């Protein structure tokens, strides 16, 4: 096939004709060569022509542009403009100093953040959704972003449709396209175009990006990719910002707090300097430098680097992070909602029993279960695998006519089969749902050809008691039923699932996972409540929880939940930890009810039905073996289905949060106090307490000392319980520690003016050294809630902090210091400084103990 032919599928149809109804496009699907896909060279040419198959994600900008974007901070721009004005007025030295400091700050931020983003993207790429595509005649796995028009993809149950295309071949191919059409039920797709196909809803010969395959398989020719797809065309109009998670809300509140304080202090300084008739440009630069000092401009970099390091450590623990802020959410998580299968159990399911309605061993129930699982074309469940693993059976005499695929509302699957002149519907599903559709059952001691008996009230009670007994023993149960239909019954419909004959039950054993008990205990000991949200019966779930020593606080079934309002459910979720027989919508209601109660919720799921809950949770967790729909919705991917590694990730999230909080506490204590002192000093000093360039230098040196915070360890006691960003605590800390810092600043003012009789230069030098020493050294107290002598900081944090202090003390004796307006202070000053720093740190430690106890 030529490149020209491969590209022809994108030929523009008349404006009022959708591509799936375009005669030329439809004609190309009848070309046998199109069904063989593209060669590697053709695919590469198409990729260059049409671009990656994605939307809502901009291509990476050149590095130079990424660097320049860091200058968009209004404070940075104001500083550069003001320094330019200084140059025009003849103050070239001031211009050079400000420009160099701004460049250093921006470059530092860019380099660290760029490295962190590269690491994050590399980890995301490792778990990106892939599709099976025909290339050079072979079926290979390719990233969805690498697919192009003309590609032929192979789809099966559980896959996400990677782009828009036409169905070439289909086998019981059902697709859920509610994302585009709002239709609640799956739509069956065929290779043959329908007579009318003007609307997307009736285009049963086409599939569309973002829809999910419920059952069956198909070969699809891709026609539109990326922004040319139906999803790409409406993405901007239907998209809405994701609901802010707990970490983002906290950062937003912190940003607003700092902004208000900055505006107030800057307005105060400008007003006072104006009233005192001080030079306008110098006063303006001082106010802007003060705003820069107050603004934690390094916070985005610290957050990025800290989260990036957390993601790398999690990757070493077999967890891949897709959304970096989810790391902190995982640390703040106080409720984990999880399914039972594979998480609490081994997921090595085996069939233990196959019984008739009365609990007696029955080959008939096994035969029907085997036929259903063998001919079912949907996503095979572990229960299907266990049925098929009982041994090969001869099904050659049977022919499949049609199928009603499984869905989570009906909780059953039906296949229409024929053998000779016998045609029947075989149904398999949740026992309660199947039993509700049965009017008859196999008689006791049934033989071939036995007449089914009426399922009256007495028989129904006995049947229920039969399978409840199995559930109490920990067996998972499937109900098996059948119904004869006429030979002219050509299609199976949901309405056919009535007046069934109950053949019996299949009982499966999925033993509890040995490691789960220890992991559950560890999570609960560290403040994470476990809530089991499952489609299984409450009897089976109770049995598994007892085996794992998981206390049962309360049970709520899907049937009971259906009668509860959102408010009533919100009250129940606090006291219930087993949610059984729930459908996907009800799982999602549980998540939303918990979040509405103020909990930070994690959800672990791997099925098609788990996608809504993965989206709704603060942190969605899935596994590498999950279906594409679940992996695409998750924030993190576990490479092992093990709660043990999840517990380690929770602690890592708390360590990440702890290091971010260290920077925030630093910025809201001594840093805020020093800036507050600067604003207050303008009231009584005849000169500026510190030159604008000195403030900026103070700020860049302080930032350099904090670069290594992401490397620091976090005390074990700080990871024992989940924590969220507590703005009340931050404000209390700021308005307690800030004034304490200011008190020592004013003490420095007194010493400089009354003891050393300092002039303008000496005063500015002394305060520069004192403020930087107190700002930097306080990290050794604030970094731990315990005794700072018992908690060792990271060696690099110690090195950078002490180096910055040494630079600050030595700078006045250098030519560079002279350029900044410093003058060497008397040696006695350093003795007084050492005493003041020791007293200051001791006072901070005393107050910290009171605030954090």
In angstroms, the CA 340 to CA 392 distance is 29
Long-range contacts of 813-821 (CB under 8 A, 24+ apart): 817/765, 819/93, 819/97, 820/97, 820/691, 820/693, 820/694, 820/697, 821/691, 821/693, 821/694, 821/761, 821/764
Residue 574: which of 551, 599, 600 has the closest Cα?
599
Cβ count within 10 A of residue 404:
25
Spell out the residues 6+ positions from residue 373 whose beta carbon is closer than 8 angstroms to its own: 380, 383, 384, 387, 388, 428
Spell out the residues 6+ positions from residue 199 whose beta carbon is closer than 8 angstroms to its own: none
Lookup: tokens for 344: 């609490």
Cβ count within 10 A of residue 496:
18
CA atoms 360, 361, 364, 370: torsion sign: positive
Instruction: Specify the pairing of strand 130-135 against strand 152-156.
Output: antiparallel
User: Judging by beta carbons within 10 Å of its beta carbon (0-12, 13-18, 19+), is residue 195 exposed, middle or buried?
Assistant: exposed
CB of 587 closer than 8 Å to CB of 533: yes
Which CA distances in Å does 782 have to 224, 511, 669, 834?
Answer: 56, 48, 9, 19
Catalytic residue among 159, 164, 329, 339: 339
In angstroms, the CA 478 to CA 492 distance is 21
- Is 109 assigned a catalytic role? no
CB of 357 closer than 8 Å to CB of 466: yes
Task: Quote the crossing angle between the two packed helices 760-777 and 795-810, to the nearest 10°.
Answer: 170
In angstroms, the CA 459 to CA 441 distance is 9
Alpha helices of 153-245 — where are they, by DSSP H?
178-181, 230-238
Residue 474: which of 584, 340, 367 has the closest Cα?
340
CB of 801 closer than 8 Å to CB of 705: yes
Spell out the residues 6+ positions from residue 264 whose beta carbon is closer than 8 angstroms to its own: none
Spell out the residues 6+ positions from residue 738 whose beta carbon is closer than 8 angstroms to its own: 668, 669, 670, 672, 673, 676
In angstroms, the CA 506 to CA 475 distance is 9
Residue 696: which of 78, 72, 65, 68 has the closest Cα?
78
- Integer distance in angstroms from the first to the last C-alpha of the chain? 73
Residue 248: which of 811, 724, 625, 693 has the closest Cα?
724
CB of 129 closer than 8 Å to CB of 212: no
Residue 588: which of 562, 550, 614, 551 has the closest Cα?
614
In angstroms, the CA 493 to CA 496 distance is 5
CB of 423 closer than 8 Å to CB of 488: no
Q: Cα angle vertex 563, ends 561, 567, to 5°?
A: 75
Alpha helices of 751-790 — where are they, by DSSP H?
760-777, 779-782
In angstroms, the CA 823 to CA 814 distance is 9
Q: Can you say how many angstroms the Cα of residue 664 is from the centroid of all Cα atoms in its chain? A: 23
Backbone angles phi, psi at 425, to 5 degrees: -100, 125
Could you give the residue numbers annotated as active site? 339
């Amino acid at each position: 096939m030529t490149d020209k032919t491969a590209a022809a599928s994108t030929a523009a149809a008349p404006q009022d004709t959708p591509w799936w109804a375009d005669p030329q496009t439809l004609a190309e699907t009848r070309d046998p060569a199109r069904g063989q896909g593209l060669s590697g060279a053709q695919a590469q040419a198409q990729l260059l022509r049409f671009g990656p198959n994605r939307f809502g994600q901009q291509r990476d900008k050149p590095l130079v542009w990424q660097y320049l974007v860091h200058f968009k901070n209004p404070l940075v721009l104001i500083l550069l403009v003001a320094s330019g004005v200084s140059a025009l007025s003849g103050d070239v030295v001031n211009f050079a100093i400000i420009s160099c400091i701004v460049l250093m700050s921006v470059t530092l931020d860019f380099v660290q953040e760029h490295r962190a983003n590269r690491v994050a993207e590399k980890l995301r790429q490792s778990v990106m959704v892939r599709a099976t595509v025909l290339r050079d005649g072979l079926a290979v796995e390719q990233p969805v972003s690498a697919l192009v028009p003309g590609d032929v993809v192979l789809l099966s149950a559980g896959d996400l449709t990677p782009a828009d295309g036409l169905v070439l071949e289909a086998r019981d191919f059902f697709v859920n396209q509610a994302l585009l059409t709002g239709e609640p039920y799956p739509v069956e797709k065929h290779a043959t175009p329908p007579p009318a196909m003007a609307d997307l809803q009736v285009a049963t010969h086409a599939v569309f990006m973002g829809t999910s395959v419920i059952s069956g398989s198909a070969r699809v020719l891709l026609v539109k990719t990326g922004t040319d797809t139906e999803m790409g065309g409406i993405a901007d109009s239907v998209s809405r910002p994701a609901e802010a998670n707990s970490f983002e809300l906290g950062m937003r509140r912190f940003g607003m707090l700092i902004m208000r304080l900055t505006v107030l202090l800057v307005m105060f300084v400008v007003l006072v300097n104006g009233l005192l008739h001080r030079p306008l440009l110098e006063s303006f630069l001082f106010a802007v430098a003060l705003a820069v000092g107050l603004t934690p401009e390094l916070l985005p970099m610290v957050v990025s680097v800290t989260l990036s390091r957390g993601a790398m450590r999690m990757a070493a623990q077999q967890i891949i992070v897709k959304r970096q802020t989810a790391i902190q959410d995982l640390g703040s998580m106080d409720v984990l909602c999880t399914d039972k299968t594979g998480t609490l159990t081994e997921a090595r399911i085996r069939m233990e029993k196959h019984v008739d309605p009365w609990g007696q061993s029955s080959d008939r129930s096994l035969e029907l279960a085997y036929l259903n699982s063998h001919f079912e074309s949907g996503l095979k469940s572990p229960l299907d695998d266990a049925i098929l693993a009982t041994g090969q059976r001869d099904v050659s005499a049977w022919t499949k006519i049609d199928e009603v695929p499984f869905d989570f509302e009906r909780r059953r699957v039906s296949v229409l089969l024929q053998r000779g002149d016998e045609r029947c519907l075989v149904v398999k599903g949740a026992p309660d749902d199947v039993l509700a559709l049965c009017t008859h059952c196999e008689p006791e001691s049934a033989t071939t050809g036995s007449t089914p008996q009426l399922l009256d009230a007495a028989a129904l009670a006995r049947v229920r008691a039969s399978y409840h007994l199995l559930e109490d023993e920990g067996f998972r149960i499937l109900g098996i039923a059948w119904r004869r239909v006429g030979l002219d019954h050509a299609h199976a419909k949901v309405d056919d699932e009535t007046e069934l004959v109950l053949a019996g039950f299949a009982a499966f054993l999925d033993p509890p996972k040995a490691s789960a008990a220890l992991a559950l205990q560890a999570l609960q000991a560290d403040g994470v409540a476990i809530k089991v949200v499952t489609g299984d019966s409450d009897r089976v779930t109770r049995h598994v929880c007892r085996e794992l020593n998981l206390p049962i606080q309360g049970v709520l079934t899907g049937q009971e939940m259906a009668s509860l309002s959102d408010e009533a459910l919100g009250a129940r979720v606090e006291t219930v930890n087993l949610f059984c027989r729930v459908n996907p919508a009800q799982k999602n209601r549980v998540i939303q009810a918990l979040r509405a109660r103020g909990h930070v919720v994690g959800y672990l799921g791997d099925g098609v039905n788990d996608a809504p809950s993965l989206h709704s949770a603060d942190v969605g967790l899935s596994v590498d073996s999950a279906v594409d729909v679940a992996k695409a919705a998750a924030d993190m991917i576990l490479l092992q289905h093990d709660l043990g590694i999840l517990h380690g990730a929770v602690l890592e999230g708390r360590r990440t949060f702890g290091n971010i909080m260290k920077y925030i506490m630093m910025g809201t204590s001594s840093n805020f106090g020093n800036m507050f002192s600067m604003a207050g000093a303008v009231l009584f000093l005849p000169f500026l307490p510190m030159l604008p360039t000195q403030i900026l230098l103070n700020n860049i040196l302080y930032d350099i000392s904090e670069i290594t915070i992401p490397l620091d360890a976090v005390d074990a006691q700080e990871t024992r319980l989940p924590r969220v960003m507590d703005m009340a605590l931050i404000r209390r800390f700021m308005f307690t520690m800030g004034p304490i810092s200011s008190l020592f600043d004013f003490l420095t003012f007194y010493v400089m003016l009354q003891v050393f009789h300092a002039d303008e230069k000496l005063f500015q030098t002394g305060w520069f050294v004192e403020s930087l020493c107190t700002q930097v050294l306080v990290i050794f107290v604030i970094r731990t809630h315990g005794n700072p002598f018992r908690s060792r900081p990271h060696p690099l944090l110690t090195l950078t902090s002490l180096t910055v202090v040494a630079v600050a003390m030595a700078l006045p004796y250098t030519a560079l210091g002279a350029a900044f307006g410093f003058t060497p202070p008397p040696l006695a000053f350093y003795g007084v400084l050492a005493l003041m720093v020791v007293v200051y740190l001791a006072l901070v430690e005393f107050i910290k103990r009171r605030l954090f106890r």
